[in-house]
Amino acid sequence: MTEPTVFVVDDDEAVRHCLGVLLRLAGLKAETFSDGMAFLDAWDPERPGCLVLDARMPKMSGIEVQRWMGAQEVPLPVIIITGHGDLAMAVTAFREGVFDFLEKPFDDAYFVERVKAAIDRDAETRRRRERNRSAAAKLRGLSPREREVMELMVEGCANKTIAARLGIGVRTVEGHRAHVMRKLDVTSLSELTRLRLSLDGDTLK
């Protein structure tokens, strides 16, 4: 598994250096950038971690970078840092989906704690995305009839009800149910229901 990286974007060279040293002393991998565009040019969505952004930067503000990141398929959790914070800025940041908003100067230990929490959030998001991908692939492997039977199973329909609604025999339904459970690698109806409900319709197309 790729080691998570803390990407620090700040136009102040001294701040970039200090945060980089602080993060590395805490055992974290860190990369620093002088502005948002430099980070975006280098960003690889497959690299896990989190993003630390200065709120006020030339060319592209931290909020603008956060807004762009939030539109990506797998956005990194973002921590906004600022020496000129105000309530309106914080509200805007959280509305854009920022993970946290810290005013300088902040406590070093607390900053590292929040960074680690953001990395944990990213790891869980990526695990959930991978589980969903695997589940969607399995569901796409069902035949059209098996999909119909599965949907009725998830609705809680008994075999006789499924047979009547689809116009097939009960034994045929039993065969399709067995195939559904085997192909999806589930052992109970509750497990099947959780798998199905974890995905929306667009994911299965």
- If 0-12 CB within 10 Å is exposed, 13-18 middle and 19+ buried, where does residue 97 land? middle
The residue ranking higher by pLDDT, 175 or 131, is 175
Does the residue 98 lie in any domain? yes
Predicted local confidence at residue 47, as pLDDT: 93
Q: Does one domain contain both 20 and 100?
A: yes
The residue range of the domain holding 90 is 5-130
Does the residue 116 lie in any domain? yes
Distance of alpha carbon 33 from alpha carbon 93, whole angstroms: 20
Q: Does one domain contain both 126 and 146?
A: no
Q: Does one domain contain both 32 and 97?
A: yes
Q: Does one domain contain both 30 and 79?
A: yes
Query: Residue 95 is encoded by which pair of tokens?
Result: 């509305």
Q: Does one domain contain both 24 and 84?
A: yes
The predicted model gives 108-112 an average pLDDT of: 95
Predicted local confidence at residue 4, as pLDDT: 96
pLDDT band at 202 (very low <50, low <70, confident <90, very high): very low
Residue 4: φ, ψ to 5° = -65, 150
Q: Which residues contact 98 (CB under 8 A, 6 or more apart)?
A: 66, 78, 79, 80
- The sign one gets for the Cα dihedral 34, 37, 41, 45 is positive
Confidence check: pLDDT of 204 > 60: no
Q: What is the pLDDT of residues 83-108, one digit of tens each?
A: 876 777 777 788 878 899 898 888 99
In this structure, how many other beta carbons lie within 10 angstroms of the beta carbon of residue 41?
Answer: 9
Domains of the chain: total: 2
CATH of residue 157's domain is: 1.10.10.10
Predicted local confidence at residue 44, as pLDDT: 92
Distance of alpha carbon 134 from alpha carbon 47, whole angstroms: 20
What amino acid occupies position 106? F
Q: Does one domain contain both 79 and 27?
A: yes
Distance of alpha carbon 85 from alpha carbon 195, whole angstroms: 43
Last residue of a domain, one of 130, 161, 187: 130
Distance of alpha carbon 205 from alpha carbon 200, whole angstroms: 10
Beta bridge partners of 82: 103
Does the residue 135 lie in any domain? no
Does the residue 197 lie in any domain? yes
Q: Does one domain contain both 96 and 163?
A: no
